[in-house]
Amino acid sequence: TLAPQPDPCKLKQRVTNSSGANVTVRFSGRYIGGPVENGFTESYGPFLQTLPPGTFDIIVNGTFNSGLWEHQVTITANGQVIKQETTLVGGTAFNIVPWTLGP
């Protein structure tokens, strides 16, 4: 049985910088789930952003196919690399992926 076609979705990264200093972050991500239909694959980034201490929402400038499509999202901040997997849900609301950067 084929999975339903993915629905458009939007992505927002919520970054909490608790390091006490500015950090330069690089966002990227890629599709990791399946099955792939009609050659569907998805990747995005890198996006670069410099953030002072605090919590910020960064909108990833794109619309991504979702459904039950899992993505691996990566953030690199001053050499520290963190990866997490997330399922993007379609609709008009943003999918929010939270990150916390420590000292």
pLDDT 10s digits, 4-59: 566 677 888 898 988 888 888 888 877 766 555 554 556 767 778 888 999 998 88
pLDDT at 54: 93
Contact 48, 89 (CB under 8 A): no
Amino acid making up residue 12? K
Query: Which has more confidence, 28 or 96?
Result: 96
pLDDT of the residue at 55:
94
DSSP secondary structure, 51-79, as one string: E-SEEEEEEEEEEEE-SSEEEEEEEEETT
Distance (Å, whole) CA 18 – CA 65 = 32
Is pTM beyond 0.95 here? no
